[in-house]
Chains A and B, each alone.
Chain A
Amino acid sequence: MSNSILSIRNLRVSIQSRDGSLNEITRDVSLELAPHEFVSIVGPSGSGKTTLLRAASGLRPPNGGTVVFNQMPVTEVPKGLAIVFQEYNKSLFPWLSIFKNVAMGARDCSSHERSERVTKALAQVGLSGFETRYPWELSGGMQQRAALARAMVSDPQILMMDEPFASVDALTRNHLEDVVQKLWDSSTFSALMVTHDVGEAVYLSDRVLVLSARPSTVLAEIKIDLERPRSHFETKQSKRFVELAAEVLEKVEEAGRQSVQGKELI
């Protein structure tokens, strides 16, 4: 267990509602993330996936349980942790060029090294030549690639992604998934991705965690034993992929039924 780079134990997160009462979002979630492991968290909408990610990254304190990153308890977003958000149009700063946006991820480096890293990261995501452009001059997919490049320049140990491809069209999504896969293949970071897309989770991950309905616990953990590297053409048509996706989907639907039943009780 001490081998893991990120260790989430019995995490509980509640959100204070307007009247002051605590609304329990996440009840009890534990997760060990090994070095260079790709784990996805799926679950029905409202199961607190994003809340879980925010607590795991140190963006907000949990109401119970612990998060340990590199043997250090997480109290704020630690160095070595990068996050890609769903809303790329807000996550990239419109007052900075693409180059300067990406360079924000490597503020600690000397300017020479920073510039080298930015150039390399932009090349990795296929955005060479767009250095002087501004985020709002690029398409959604390109903006999200820039956000990925910004995460990469910091040379993170963990890349967290919150519904990273939910705001782009299907073709762009396939392409972005492969960009992420390639980055992950050619590097050593661990990835923790939150998504509602079962196919995407299975396609990219080593392990998929299915959350129950709110207040969430881990309903199932499914190991994805598909060969790497994976491709949209072959992997997604393989028998094993279809089986695994069906297994995950079944669990997600089970969680969804729970949530419907829960509402009926209210």
Chain B
Amino acid sequence: MNQVRFAPDQSERPLELTRARLTPRQRRTVRQIGGILVALALWELSSATGAVNSNALVTPLATFGGIISHMTALATALVATLEAWALGISVAVVAGILIGTLVGRSQIADAATETIVRMMRPLPSLALIPIAILIAGLGVRMTAGLVSFAAFWPVFINTRVGVRQVDNTVLETAAVLGLKKLNLLYRVVLPSASPMIASGIQVAISLALVVTVSVELVGGTGGLGEFILLAQQGNEPSVMFGGIIMGGLLGWGISRLFAWIIDRFIPWRTQGIRTNA
């Protein structure tokens, strides 16, 4: 009979019940929103108190107003930026994977390109604007060209390393299965390198957006960059901030979309770490 007293009382656990109502994922979302709200509050505070010159740092509300009043122009600018970005990143991804695979799999190509790669890689894209203008003229092709130049490197470097660092057991398994040359490349080497390549692309897509907007801003070649530039020149800081915020949102959207695509197509990217540990 004594044992009855020791039985745990399930009804008296209100705290744990409320905690359990949110899944870990929901809790994360709540925290993310919380972070944004805190950032907005800090922004509001620093501009409202005059801690930062309020002509330079407008309030969140004013920025929102700027976005609303220039909706159409912003949308046009976003589309233009997205177009240059997409063109540039596509070329970068295709070229980066192709050349990275070639260089990673061939010792001759690797040695032949090494010095050039080390020289070209640190060149800032913006320094190439004059050359790009001479080659492509002012416009989306010039922007896209510079974007692809900048975004090429992370894809290329990760692909090169990824196709070279295929695990020995994986390669031996492929040898036992009789996989050779092209079969080996696209059935084993590239899939095996795909998490690495995906990381490269992930870096590249953000970098590409930075370069797109920068080139537009410096070269005045349309898009979000030029929109920000014109707003600044027209002394409309709220509109300028609207443009900047939209750029940030664009970057967020693109990288979220890509993360979702990776999760779908390379689900073992994170699982692998767990099982290989």
* A94/B272 contact (C-beta < 8 A), A77-B176, A82-B176 known: yes
The one of B178, B191, B267, B276 in contact with A90, judged by C-beta atoms closer than 8 angstroms, is B276
B266 interface residue (CB < 8 Å to A): yes
A230 interface residue (CB < 8 Å to B): no
Contact with A along B179-191 (1 / 0, CB 8 A): 0000000011001
Please state if A89 and B175 are interface contacts (CB–CB under 8 Å): no
Contact with A along B253-275 (1 / 0, CB 8 A): 00000000000001110011011
Please state if B169 and A93 are interface contacts (CB–CB under 8 Å): no
Please state if A85 and B266 are interface contacts (CB–CB under 8 Å): no
A107 to B183 CA separation, bound complex (whole angstroms) = 11
The one of B167, B178, B268 in contact with A107, judged by C-beta atoms closer than 8 angstroms, is B178
CB-CB nearest in chain A for B276: A89
A15 to B169 CA separation, bound complex (whole angstroms) = 18
Q: List the B side residues contacting A79 at CB < 8 Å.
A: 178
Please state if A107 and B276 are interface contacts (CB–CB under 8 Å): no
Interface centre among B268, B275, B276, by most chain A C-beta atoms within 10 angstroms, is B275
Interface centre among B169, B172, B175, B274, by most chain A C-beta atoms within 10 angstroms, is B172
B125 interface residue (CB < 8 Å to A): no
Closest CB in chain B relative to A240 CB, distance in Å? 35
Please state if A59 and B267 are interface contacts (CB–CB under 8 Å): no
Please state if B176 and A94 are interface contacts (CB–CB under 8 Å): no
Please state if A134 and B267 are interface contacts (CB–CB under 8 Å): yes
CB-CB nearest in chain A for B272: A94
A193 interface residue (CB < 8 Å to B): no
The one of B173, B194, B272 in contact with A85, judged by C-beta atoms closer than 8 angstroms, is B173
Please state if B169 and A136 are interface contacts (CB–CB under 8 Å): no
A76 interface residue (CB < 8 Å to B): yes
Q: List the A side residues contacting B268 at CB < 8 Å.
A: 94-95, 134, 136
| Chain A residues touching B, majority SS | mixed
Q: List the A side residues contacting B275 at CB < 8 Å.
A: 89, 135-136
Q: List the A side residues contacting B267 at CB < 8 Å.
A: 134
Interface centre among B169, B187, B192, B194, by most chain A C-beta atoms within 10 angstroms, is B169
Q: List the B side residues contacting A87 at CB < 8 Å.
A: 169
A82 to B178 CA separation, bound complex (whole angstroms) = 10
Q: List the B side residues contacting A95 at CB < 8 Å.
A: 191-192, 194, 266, 268
Closest CB in chain B relative to A6 CB, distance in Å? 15
A81 interface residue (CB < 8 Å to B): yes
Please state if B169 and A91 are interface contacts (CB–CB under 8 Å): yes
A85 to B170 CA separation, bound complex (whole angstroms) = 10
B177 interface residue (CB < 8 Å to A): yes
A168 interface residue (CB < 8 Å to B): no
A68 interface residue (CB < 8 Å to B): no
Please state if A136 and B272 are interface contacts (CB–CB under 8 Å): yes
Please state if A90 and B175 are interface contacts (CB–CB under 8 Å): no
Please state if B272 and A81 are interface contacts (CB–CB under 8 Å): no
The one of B173, B191, B271, B272 in contact with A91, judged by C-beta atoms closer than 8 angstroms, is B173
A144 to B269 CA separation, bound complex (whole angstroms) = 21
A135 to B272 CA separation, bound complex (whole angstroms) = 10
Q: List the A side residues contacting B271 at CB < 8 Å.
A: 94, 134, 136-137
* A90/B170 contact (C-beta < 8 A), A134-B268, A136-B274 known: yes
A136 to B275 CA separation, bound complex (whole angstroms) = 7
Please state if B175 and A76 are interface contacts (CB–CB under 8 Å): yes
Residues 191-243 of B contacting A (Cβ, < 8 Å) = 191-192, 194
A211 interface residue (CB < 8 Å to B): no
Residues 141-169 of B contacting A (Cβ, < 8 Å) = 167, 169
Closest CB in chain A relative to B56 CB, distance in Å? 51
What would 14 A/B residue contacts be, using CB atoms closer than 8 Å? A59-B172, A77-B178, A82-B176, A85-B172, A90-B169, A90-B173, A90-B276, A93-B191, A95-B194, A104-B177, A134-B267, A136-B268, A136-B271, A137-B271
Residues of B within 8 A of A (CB): 167, 169-170, 172-173, 175-178, 187-188, 191-192, 194, 266-268, 271-272, 274-276
Q: Nearest 6 CB-CB pairs, A to B?
A: A94-B268, A90-B169, A136-B271, A95-B191, A83-B176, A91-B173
